[in-house]
Structure 1
Amino acid sequence: AKGKAMSANDPLLLKVKKLPSVEVATECVEDQALAIYHDKQAMVNVKGVEDNFDSLTHISNILYGDGDFRLHTANLQYGVLGIRLAQDLGTGVAWPDYLHIYAPQREGQYDASDPTNAFVKDSLISPGALFQVKQLKYDKGYIITSLEFARRIFNRQGEITSLELRMKPGVDIDKAKDEIQTLLGDKYKVLDRYEQQADTFNIMRIEKLFAYIFLTFILMVACFNIIGSLSMLIIDKKNDVITLRNLGTTDSQIRRIFLFEGRMISAAGAVIGIALGLLLCWLQQTYGLVQLGDQAGNFVVNAYPISVHPEDIITIFLTVILVGWLSVWYPVRYMSRKLTRD
């Protein structure tokens, strides 16, 4: 895939729109521009969308204000701002004056003595509403407007920068993505919502990895308790060891007894710890014990989100067992040899 835009009339894209798995398809034109309101300005992403954008995203559910989600009426072009962007520009929910948008000319030459000729200028009015995704990237940097306005200011007539899809309920996203990619070939990129937010999810995966490594080190330190308690147990059972030897028990059999004891301690600790962890996860999912903020509504969800994955449970269990069993091996081997010499 090359280039920033594509023809809106590409037959391949028309085929994608007609796929039985596609519920809503919206053409979009998005690029950066300069927004100016009175004496304040900000670099923004202007995103032009079709009238069915609300069916795609249900943006009406996250509007703030008394207005509706409108993109245009007659000759008027509306702009729906993110709530933080409106605060930065000082527009308020329903601004009374025009919001001016400047975008650089894509083609041609301009007079250096008059830099204003290097920009395309247009204006938006308020529909009386702002959107609030509760993610700074969007609330502070986006203006949603009509596809017509975006094409005009970015000189993208007959072009789009993306085709956004909502799949029908029950559709396997991975299979649908593969089907669309096969249909389009290498000409276009097909990205799901996670791939579109790749940086965010990569950071989350790195945080998860570091948390696992950090907790594993804590577990290794905690295993010194097992080493100490097992050493004390072996010393305490010195007379019992002598009795077992007199009854014909070999040293290797005695070592296996203590190894089994230590490994049972590790296994029991792993099972109890995982059970308590799952209980805490269930309590958090059900009752939201840990809140994200002091005031309700500051985030998309008020309680810290929890997601339990079977592969994580298996990884934790195997890690505890491995570290625990390795910590058991040395004291049993050392103390049993010492008892043998004694």
Structure 2
Amino acid sequence: MSTSAQQAPAGRSTRPFSRFEWMIAARYLRARRKEAFISVIASLTMVGVAIGVATLIVVMSVMNGFRAELLTKILGLNGHFTAFPIESQFTDYKEAIATLEETEGVDFAVYFAEGQVLASGRGGSTGVSVRGMDAENLEKLPLLYNSAEQGGFDSWDENDGIAIGYRLAQTLGVGLGDQVQIINPDSGAMTPFGSTPQIRSYPVRTIFNLGMVEFDSLFMYMPLQAAQDYFKLYDDVLKPGMDQLDPMASDEEIDAAYERIYRATAAEIFIHNPDAVGQMRERLATRTDIRPFILTDWQQRNETFFSALQVERVVMFTILSMIILVAAFNIISSLVMLVKDKSKDIAVLRTMGATRGAIMRIFSITGTTIGVIGTLTGLVLGLIVAANAETLRATISNTLGVALFPPEVFFLSALPSKTDPTEVTVVVVLALALSFLATLYPAWRAAQYDPVEALRYE
């Protein structure tokens, strides 16, 4: 058999993409002096794809981190369920918490006394939420217990002071050891003219930093019994056998005759799976040995906020995908110009035996390679930026002297980032798919060239 008979015509190969097609596509990707303009357009298209992919990865990672961090902060301080007692006052809070913690799916529960007051310091005043908790329950909340920047929660139950967030301390103009005056208009002494506001001062024993502006600016903690005494969450009842009390009894005798029964405001319940609130609500409601509660879950409390975050993620993904779409259109334009410039080469290849399919595959390889290189570059760049988002934010803010992502607006004191492998895969597949689809029309146009017409005047 002759040598010419053994060789297949150009472009005729049993493989989907032959070495011949890859070789021609690689030659078209390499720049020559007279083709510099087309090469520049291809390079800019590659950069556009890379920027689009990197931007999508970074933005989606930051939004995932923002949601995860908010969820961690909110559910690290407030439970997955808040249980408010009904039918009777919450005096059996210790027994109720022990019973709740025996329920399958419940990690732990805490009880607390809570009220709203006006707090005043040397530098100003503001409304705050005071929450009374004992040391046993505080230790169940590591987010709070380990957040003390000044002072601490040691010997908390014997403490005569309060714990406040560092932003609240800045607002009030106080530091460790300074006095904070709190005013409650509802629990003062009764007079002929109505109740008088109750005013007390407490020293600051702890300043904590939870990393969430709302919590660091709003919450004040004090020992449980101190909060119960301040908000008058107790009832004085006669001890058994003391039904009759001498009207002339001294104050000491009266105090000895009465027993003070304290009560809590509500309880927070923390469960294994935060998304299983529906199942856990039903499980808690069917237990007959638990006192009646009104249960409010975290999804109800934050429904509007997290729904807005979800909508924002979808909208941002859609809008930023347009960057990749624009880059894909640039692939079309650069390939159209390349096809126009290579019309003579296409005609020569056709006369040498290259099929229309081979011509189409050559230009598909050329355009898709631009998209693949751009996508991989954007993937690496996006992952690097997403992993160092907070470092970059701090560097830019310090260099320019401008507050990027101010915590007063974005609730968090640092820029979080959490890369989701599934979302990264979707972005990469989207970029590659758009890059490939963008090559189809120019490649089809190249395959339609008539070699006779192209070479007629040569």
Q: TM-score, normalised by structure 1?
A: 0.72
Moved more, 303-312 or 3-12: 3-12
Structure 2, gaps ≥5 residues long: 1-80, 235-262, 287-292, 400-405
8 Å contact kept, 1:46–1:143:
yes
Counterpart of 2:256 in structure 1 is: none
User: Do the aligned partners of residues 103 and 233 (structure 1) sit closer, same or farther apart at CA in structure 2, a change above 3 Å counting?
Assistant: same
Whether 2:183 is the aligned partner of 1:101: answer yes
8 Å contact kept, 1:103–1:121:
yes
Q: Distance in 1 between matches of 2:341 and 2:423?
A: 38
Counterpart of 1:215 in structure 2 is: 320
Structure 1, gaps ≥5 residues long: none
Q: What is the identity, as a one-letter code, of the residue corresponding to 1:291? A: A
Structure 1 or 2, whichever has the larger Rg, is 2
Q: What is the identity, as a one-letter code, of the residue corresponding to 1:94? A: G
Correspondent of 2:134 among 36, 50, 72: 50
1:237 Cα deviation after fit: 3.0
1:9 Cα deviation after fit: 3.4
Question: What is the 5 A alignment of 1:287-326?
Answer: 288=391, 290-291=393-394, 294=398, 304-326=415-437
Correspondent of 1:123 among 175, 184, 200: 200
Q: What is the identity, as a one-letter code, of the residue corresponding to 1:269? A: G
Whether 2:414 is the aligned partner of 1:330: answer no
Correspondent of 1:184 among 260, 268, 284: 284
1:137 Cα deviation after fit: 0.8
Q: What is the identity, as a one-letter code, of the residue corresponding to 1:9? A: D
8 Å contact kept, 2:211–2:413:
no
Structure with more contact order per residue of length (Cα contacts < 8 Å, sep ≥ 6): 2
Two-structure CA RMSD over aligned residues (Å):
4.3
Deviation per residue, 1:40-63 (Å, 9 max, x gap):
432111112122243123445332
1:184 Cα deviation after fit: 0.7
8 Å contact kept, 2:83–2:269:
no
Q: Distance in 1 between matches of 2:311 and 2:391?
A: 25
1:14 Cα deviation after fit: 3.3
Correspondent of 1:231 among 327, 332, 336: 336
8 Å contact kept, 1:66–1:128:
yes
User: Do the aligned partners of residues 150 and 66 (structure 1) sit closer, same or farther apart at CA in structure 2, a change above 3 Å counting?
Assistant: closer
Whether 2:357 is the aligned partner of 1:274: answer no
8 Å contact kept, 2:162–2:205:
no
Correspondent of 1:254 among 359, 383, 390: 359
Deviation per residue, 1:196-218 (Å, 9 max, x gap):
76666556545544543343222
1:144 Cα deviation after fit: 0.5
User: Do the aligned partners of residues 261 and 294 (structure 1) sit closer, same or farther apart at CA in structure 2, a change above 3 Å counting?
Assistant: closer
Whether 2:97 is the aligned partner of 1:26: answer no
SS of residue paired to 1:92: coil
1:132 Cα deviation after fit: 2.3
Deviation per residue, 1:77-119 (Å, 9 max, x gap):
53212222233233432124x62330536xxxx99x94x62x6
* Percent of residue pairs identical: 20
Q: Distance in 2 between matches of 1:326 and 1:8?
A: 69
Q: Distance in 2 between matches of 1:63 and 1:325?
A: 55
Q: Distance in 2 between matches of 1:3 and 1:17?
A: 13
